[in-house]
Each structure stands twice: as structure tokens, then as C-alpha cells.
Amino acid sequence: MKKIPVSDLRLGMYIQEICGSWMDHPFWKNSFRLDSLDDLHTLQTSVREVWIDTSKGLDVAPDVTALTPEEAESRTQQVLEVSSARNESEIRIPLEAEVVRAKILKGRAKKAVMSMFSDVRMGQALRADMAYPLVEEIHQSISRNTDALISLVRLKNKDDYTYLHSVAVCALMIALGKRLGLDSESLRHVGMAGLLHDVGKMLIPDPILNKPGRLTDDEFEIVKSHPRLGYQVLLKAEGLSDATLEVCLHHHERMDGGGYPDRLAGEDLSLYARMGAVCDVYDAITSERCYKKGWEPATAIHKMAEWQKGHFDLRIFHAFVKTVGIYPIGTLVRLKSGRLGYVVEQGRENLTAPVVKVIFSEQSNAHIFPELVDLLHAQDAIVSTEDPQQRGIAPLF
């Protein structure tokens, strides 16, 4: 396994993994033999790096420098270590208490977004007035407990993805904004931006938007038109802030200028657009789609840290990790003691030492009486993350 820049790709190599969100490229699978010049061109114009497997295809040229898995992991850990220190003094209501309210809010929010987006699909004007009370409710939920609603709206199927993705990005934007120190009015603006950022997808034909295979170049260009289409919809609505318009138009831009639709880079991107890019990618890659199973939250954070350079604003990415955690709420982890449990609370001093609800023993291969373990004060530690489905363990929520 070697990690190389796309400029060093050549035909005959075996692509093991594309380093980037699957919204950045039209390939529906990550692993394939590179035999097409068109595929080579698409990769070189849409992502920065890839992993290749030299046992299944050509190796790099002798003068090319490639990263080993160990070197890449070391760099990723350096990025995450900057985010791991935490000094959390905010008093929040318990997760279990807010989850009860958040479940009700999730259902209402989905219906409200479906109604607004249905109007747009039918050619009617967006009714932004329907969104303001919803954003305020989401803001209040995040203020009571950051993790409850964010954890719940991540759980979505391919059929309700479009609507709950909007709710999820709204919640993530508000939570990230709080971490960055935005005032209450700005938090409501970024929440509205998150809620409406993907409205342009209502104008993309469903057979293309939900195609369970590789998009053609023409189809991918149609999908990439959704930020501008959404921007045009929002321009006609009343009372929306510049932040909302900015996030809609530029949430797929990248810090290195490799995004779309305007290929903006660096300081040309507003704070809100940079926030939107991180929140949108995280929720998208942790969600089930018709063409791809979502990554577990901890895996998504790790992957984003691996290829954040050039993609995200590093300061905002560090703040985002502090917001959701290196091991987000609901992550199934295996401990050094051989027990498995779910992360139920972030560590107040260090994100690598969360509170875990232990529920399973590998030694006895059986469920055990649940126990809360604060890893900051325990003689135990996380050694890996696990997939609940593969382990046959019911999800936390």
C-alpha cells in the first residue's frame, strides 16, 4: 500500500482508496484497476491523493516519493492530537434526557424540510418563514446537549437522506459555531445555512442524484450544478442572510481551489463556507446512501484528518473535531480490557478519554451488565473502533 499524489498516477495501477469525500468524484467504488485515460483525468482533476496497491497493479516510478501506511497514520495522528486537548466547563443536561426531546424534534424537522423542499421541486418559491422556528428549536437542543440531536440525525436511511442531511448539517453548523465563539444571531444564520445548503438538489433529476453506479462525466456535471441552482432558489426567497446564500453556493469549494462551482481558494472563502464544507462532508460520509454504506463516525473523523490538507480550513477542522469528538457519541469501541462499549460522553479534558458505556465482554463472548467507565480516570483505554453490525451489537440509539 502506497499513498501518492494523483499527478503520479499512471495506467495499470490499482486504486485501493480515493482520498476524499465521494461527493468530490463520480466513482461509486473506491477500489479498481486504472485502465482508462478518462478515469485518470477525472481523478487528477477531482482529488489530491490516492492509495495504490502494488500487489495488484503497477508500482510508482523509481523517482516518486510515496507515503507508507505507517507514515500516513503518523501524520493523521499529529492532526488529531492538536484537537484532543479539551477544557470543557459547560453544564449540559444529560444525553438521555435530551435524546427524548431530540427524537420528537427529528421527526418534526424531517416533515418541515420535506414540505419546503417539495415546494421547490414543484417550482414554487421557498417559504423561509417555515424554517426560522425549526432552526431556533435545533439551536435550543444543541444548547441543552450538543450530542443528542447530532447523534440521532446521523441515523438515516437512503430514502430520507436528503431531508435529514439538511437537519444534520444545520445542527452541526450551530454546534461548530458555538465552538468557534459565534454570537447567537450568527448561530441562527449558520443554522439556516446548514438547513438550506442542499436545496438545489431538488432540481437534479432523481435517476442521476440517486444513481447506484458510476456517474458519467455529463451526469457528474449536472450533480455539481446543485450549489448554483440552490443559490438561485434562495435569491428569490425573502429574509435570508448572506451567510445562508454563501454556504449554499460554496459548500463544495476546497481550500486549495479544487472544489466547485467557482474554484475559490483560501481567503476567498468565507468563514461560513469553510464551516459548511466540513459539516457537509462529515454527515455525508457517515450516512447510508443508495450507492454506499456510510462510515462509522470515528472512521470518518480519522479519514477527514488524513486528507484534510488542501480540503478544509485546518483551524475549523480542529474546532469541528473538538465539537463531535475523535470518538463521536455512539461509537462502538474495544477497550484494552477486552470489553466493548459505546461512547456516551466526550472527555472533558481529553477527547481520547471519553466516557464509555461498557456492555460486552470478549472473554465471555456475551453481554454484561452495563457499566459507565470514565477513561480519564480508569486503568483502561481504547484500542480500536468496531462496527456494531459486524459485531452483532444493537446500536446505542
Helix (H) or strand (E) holding 282: helix 271-285
| Tens of pLDDT, residues 97-110 | 899 999 999 999 99
Q: What angle do CA 167, 137, 270 make, to 5 degrees?
A: 55
Task: Supply the pLDDT for residue 342.
Answer: 94
- What is the predicted pLDDT for the residue at 291? 65
- Percentage of the residues of the chain whose pLDDT score is greater than 90: 64
Q: How much is the pLDDT for 187?
A: 95
pLDDT over threshold 80, residue 91: no
pLDDT of 215 > 90? The answer is no
Of 246, 355, 243, 254, nearest in space to 304 by CA: 254
Close Cβ partners of 268 (under 8 Å, ≥ 6 residues apart):
none
Length of the chain: 397
The string of pLDDT tens digits covering residues 282-326 is 999 998 876 677 888 999 999 999 999 999 999 999 999 999 999
pLDDT at position 21, please? 82
Side chain identity at residue 199, one-letter code: V
The pLDDT value recorded for residue 65 is 86
> 375-396, pLDDT tens digit by residue?
999 999 999 999 888 888 888 8
Rounded to two decimals, what is the model's pTM? 0.90
**Residue-level pLDDT at 233:** 94
Mean of pLDDT values over 2-27: 89
Distance of CA 236 to the CA centre of its chain: 29
pLDDT value at residue 90: 67
Which strand (E) or helix (H) includes residue 3? strand 2-5
Query: Mind giving me the DSSP string for 301-353?
Result: HHHHHHT-TTTS-HHHHHHHHHHH-SS-TT-EEEETTSEEEEEEE--SSBTTS
pLDDT greater than 80 at residue 339: yes
Q: Where are the domains of the chain?
A: 2-67, 95-324, 332-391
**pLDDT at position 238:** 84
Tell me which of 91-100, 151-160, 271-280 is least confident: 151-160
Report the C-alpha gap between 171 and 221 in whole angstroms. 29
Tell me which architecture the domain covering 95-324 has in CATH.
Orthogonal Bundle (1.10)
Q: Over 90: is that where the pLDDT of 190 sits?
A: yes
Looking up cell 436511511 gives 157
